[in-house]
Amino acid sequence: MSFVIDAALVGTGGMMPLPNRWLSSVLLRYAGHLILFDCGEGTQISLRSLGWGIKDIDLILISHVHGDHVTGLPGLLLTQGNSGRTEPLQIVGPAGLRQVVSGLLSVARSLPFAVECRELTAADGERVGLEELSVTWVEAEHHVECLAYRLDLPRGPRFLPEQARQLGVAIQDWKRLQRGEIVSGVRPSDVLGPPRRGLSIGLVTDTRPTEAIARLVWDVDLLVCEATFGSDEDQPRAVERKHMTFREAAQLAKDARARQLVLTHFSPALVEPEAYLGNAAEVFPETIVGRDHLTLSLRFPEE
Amino acid sequence: MSFVIDAALVGTGGMMPLPNRWLSSVLLRYAGHLILFDCGEGTQISLRSLGWGIKDIDLILISHVHGDHVTGLPGLLLTQGNSGRTEPLQIVGPAGLRQVVSGLLSVARSLPFAVECRELTAADGERVGLEELSVTWVEAEHHVECLAYRLDLPRGPRFLPEQARQLGVAIQDWKRLQRGEIVSGVRPSDVLGPPRRGLSIGLVTDTRPTEAIARLVWDVDLLVCEATFGSDEDQPRAVERKHMTFREAAQLAKDARARQLVLTHFSPALVEPEAYLGNAAEVFPETIVGRDHLTLSLRFPEE
């Protein structure tokens, strides 16, 4: 198990890519895998500058199928193909995803790897994830079907060596106990501490704040959330266009008791997002105004 | 009639967009219209930096439907729509264009303007063009259907004022003669000089050099031509991948008696295209190695 997730903002813009701001997208790195959240036009270029790799993106989470969140898919997949990728790629998103991906991939009919495209529903019983990392989601509130995501990396209980010694388990058998096996009558639970908090990330964009989203991202270590409008005066516009202001994103983070909030998906009209930090920080002090290529690492705390 | 065409290289890269090189695309400005040749991922971002406008692109010429030449279309059209465009947009290209454009536009179903998508064939009798500017084409030689284009801006014969005076035409009637009307028995041909050379541009990419292309771009003022590989040693690769080396592009320009050659569509492996200028200039001295945002103006010469 890897004990760290790195997150990078591939871009922080909404609606259209700008010369100095890529479209909003998040790249997560975990245990040799890369997971991408949304893929607007130009995402592969920003990914190349970022330098974490492109070929090894194994899972793509799509919030919704508006152009600024998906039109980078064909170029990204063609570039993965040109890099020699052969492993299947999983793309998940809301209802309607398959048709749009199929349309976009009309220019990429002969990729050297399989693309598994899956439309997620509330009733979906199948697991989405990679190794220990699991993905859950709820419906967001936008003009089209849109999903908010949560990623969880669970943490096993601590192994208690003193306990194992006292119970007479040989050191070479400790690994078996840690894997869940019973060794000479000693059960794993006899040598393991209490459950421990894992790592979690919320990915929320193109939506109004909702209770369902607040429940989904409850207590996450990192909430990357859209904040299309900086000024409080734009709140009516945020309602109309089904986005959020900085203050509303901060309130969502507060309601969800998130540990840290990173704002993204800024309107092209929002030239200096940083100038509006105060509107969010008043409500939720642990707010960072995102910028392209901002990176954060989540690590299990020393215990 | 406008007496000038401006050309800009929107990008100069082949295969995939790079952080320092946009995908190959050419923007032409003529009489208030913008004409775009190819539209790979990121083209709208480079267009924004260039600053000639996006909304007023009235005609898009597509060489072929490989991803690096078309995946920027949905983003570009969405941005045109967001700018309030209502005039129809014409997209022309080879057979298969309609299906790919329809697929790509699966994310742009409600544009506020009509998209007229037209597949050009050799037998196509209908005119393509804008005002006086007309477009012709031939099939190129690539792995898929691909077209090379030529644009012609004709130039009317010079009006001869001395002649008009001698024939007794009043100055206020000169305009009528220039428009082709007969005035008091004087025919336009009585007061007009011999035919004059117009302006012409060849747009050639993703192809081997062929005789048909050399004939198409015969005597053009400007030939913008792909030159994927700089080194002569890559010639076998150019044959295999159906592209050209610098030297081959120069030979095509020479065979066509073009007036000026601009090289573009460089392989991502070609880090310093300028270093290979000699390979082209030996064959065709009037060669420029393209770079993103290089602009050139074609003007009717003073006569």
The DSSP string of B9-22 is: EEE-B-SS-BTTBP
B103 to A104: CB separation less than 8 angstroms, yes or no: yes
Q: Residue A293: CB partners within 8 Å, gap ≥ 6? A: A8, A9, A10, A46, A49, A50
Across the interface, do A103 and B107 touch by the CB < 8 Å criterion?
yes
Indicate yes or no: CB of A19 within 8 angstroms of CB of B48.
yes
Three-class DSSP category at B68: helix
- What are the structural domains, with CATH classification, of chain B? 4-156+195-290 (3.60.15.10)
Interface test with A, best of B85, B105, B107, B110 (most A CBs within 10 A): B107
Q: What is the DSSP code (8-state) at residue A72? A: T
Which whole number is the average pLDDT over B68-92?
Answer: 97
Which amino acid type is present at position B119?
E
Cβ <8 Å between A67 and B42: no
CA distance linking residue A71 with residue A104, whole number of Å:
7
Q: Pick A41's closest partner by Cβ from B65, B72, B105.
A: B72
Count of H-run helices and E-run strands, chain A: 10, 14
> What is the C-alpha separation between A257 and B297, in angstroms, rounded?
60
Contact call for residues A7 and A299 (beta carbons, < 8 A): no
Torsion on CA atoms B296, B300, B302, B303, rounded to nearest 10: 150
Which pLDDT tens digit goes with each residue over A57-70? Answer: 999 999 999 999 99
pLDDT classification of B1: cutoffs 50, 70, 90:
very low
Phi, psi of A67 (to 5 degrees): -50, -40
Token code pair at residue B263: 């090289």
Task: Inform me whether the pLDDT recorded for B287 exceeds 50.
Answer: yes
Give A134: exposed, middle or buried? Use CB within 10 Å, 0-12, 13-18, 19+: middle
Shortest distance between the Cα of A269 and any Cα of chain B, in A, equals 13
> Which residues of B are part of the catalytic machinery?
68
Higher pLDDT, A131 or B1: A131
* Complex ipTM value: 0.89
In chain A, whose CA is at the least distance from the CA of B99?
A106
Which residues of chain B are within 8 Å of residue A96 when distances are taken between CB atoms?
none
Between CA B17 and CA B35 the distance in angstroms is: 21
Q: How far A144 CA lies from chain B's nearest CA (Å)? A: 12
* CA-based radius of gyration for chain B: 21
- Rounded to an integer, what distance in angstroms lies between the CA atom of residue A296 and that of residue B10? 34
Asked whether residue B124 carries a pLDDT value surpassing 80, the answer given is no
- A71, A41 Cβ separation under 8 angstroms: yes
- Spatial CA neighbour of A13 closest among A51, A54, A41: A41
Decide if B107 and A65 are in contact by the 8 Å CB cutoff.
yes
Q: Shortest Cα distance from A262 to chain B (angstroms)?
A: 25
Average pLDDT over chain B, rounded to an integer = 95
Provide the token pair at B173: 């009637």
Does B10 score more than 70 pLDDT? yes
Interface test mutation site (partner B, options A21, A23, A41, max chain B beta carbons within 10 A):
A41
Task: Find residue B226's DSSP bridge partners.
Answer: B264
Instruction: Please enumerate residues of B whose Cβ is less than 8 A from a Cβ of A.
Output: 15-19, 40-42, 44-46, 48-49, 65-68, 70-72, 74-75, 78-79, 82, 99-100, 102-108
Could you give the C-alpha distances from A12 to A5, A15, A16, A69, B69, in angstroms and in order? 20, 10, 11, 11, 25
Predicted pLDDT of residue A296: 97
Contacts of B64 (CB under 8 A, 6+ apart): B93, B94, B140, B142, B144, B145, B146, B147, B206
Q: Distance between CA atoms of B36 and B92, rounded to whole angstroms?
A: 11
Backbone φ and ψ for B185, nearest 5 degrees, come out as: 85, -10
Neighbours of A17 (CB within 10 A): 30
Give the one of A72, A102, A103 whose C-beta lies nearest to B41's C-beta: A72
Contact B18 A106 (CB under 8 A): no
Contacts of A18 (CB under 8 A, 6+ apart): A268, B45, B48
Contact call for B41 and A44, based on CB within 8 A:
yes
Interface test with A, best of B106, B109, B271 (most A CBs within 10 A): B106
Residues of A in contact with B78 (CB under 8 A): 16, 67-68
Among B41, B49, B106, beta carbon nearest to A41? B41
Interchain proximity A44–B82, CB inside 8 Å: no
DSSP string, B259-275: S-EEEE-B-TT-S-GGG
* Nearest to B204, CA basis, from B235, B225, B222: B225
Range with the lowest mean pLDDT among A164-168, B52-56, B62-66, B89-93?
Answer: A164-168
Q: In this predicted structure, what is the pLDDT of residue A3?
A: 66
Does the beta-carbon distance from B44 to A100 stay under 8 Å? no
Nearest CA in chain B to A99: B106
Q: Which residues in chain B have their CB less than 8 angstroms from residue A81's CB?
A: none
Query: Alpha carbon of B52 to those of B112, B192, B214: distances in Å?
Result: 22, 36, 30
Reference A78, options B47, B22, B70; nearest CA is B70
The predicted pLDDT at position A1 comes to: 44
The DSSP call for residue A158 is P
pLDDT at B126: 76
Looking at residue B282, the DSSP 8-state letter turns out to be: T
Q: Print pLDDT tens along chain A (303 aa).
A: 446 899 999 999 999 999 999 999 999 999 999 999 999 999 999 999 999 999 999 999 999 999 999 999 999 999 999 999 999 999 999 999 999 999 999 999 889 999 999 999 876 677 899 989 999 999 999 999 999 999 999 998 888 999 999 999 999 999 898 888 999 899 999 999 988 999 999 999 999 999 999 999 999 999 999 999 999 999 999 999 999 999 999 999 999 999 999 999 999 999 999 999 999 999 999 999 999 999 999 998 876
Cβ of B107 and A67 within 8 Å? yes
What is the separation of C-alpha A155 from the centre of its chain, rounded to a whole number of angstroms? 18
CB-closest option in A48, A82, A104 to B18: A48
Give the count of Cβ contacts less than 8 A between chain A and B: 109
Which chain B residue has its CA at the smallest distance from A21's CA? B45
Considering chain B, what percentage of its residues have pLDDT values greater than 70? 98
Nearest to A266 by CA among A8, A20, A76, A7: A20
With contacts defined as CB-CB under 8 Å, which chain B residues touch A100? Answer: 106-107
Q: What is the rounded CA–CA span in Å between residue A97 and residue A117?
A: 8
**pLDDT tens, A115-158?**
999 999 876 677 899 989 999 999 999 999 999 999 999 998 88
Residues 6+ apart with CB under 8 A from B215: B138, B256
Q: Where are the alpha helices (DSSP H) in chain B?
A: 43-50, 67-70, 73-82, 97-104, 161-166, 174-178, 211-216, 235-241, 246-255, 277-281
Higher pLDDT, A109 or B58: B58
Across the interface, do A71 and B67 touch by the CB < 8 Å criterion? no
Chain A residues in contact with B42 (beta carbon < 8 A): 17, 41-42, 45
Q: Give the residue numbers in A contacting B (CB under 8 Å), as ranges.
A: 15-19, 40-42, 44-46, 48-49, 65-68, 70-72, 74-75, 78-79, 82, 99-100, 102-108
Q: Do B48 and A104 touch (CB under 8 A)?
A: no
For A73, nearest residue in chain B (alpha carbons) = B71
Q: Is the pLDDT of residue B2 over 80?
A: no
| DSSP class of B188 | G
Residue of A nearest to B51 (CA): A19
Annotated catalytic residues of A are 68
pLDDT tens digit sequence for B153-207: 999 888 899 999 999 999 999 989 888 899 989 999 999 998 899 999 999 999 9
Burial B127-164 (b: 16+ CB within 10 A, else e): ebebeebbbbbbbbebeebbbbbbbbbebeeeeeeeeb
End-to-end CA distance of chain A: 17
Continuous segment of H or E residues that includes residue B226: strand B222-226
Q: Do B71 and A66 touch (CB under 8 A)?
A: no
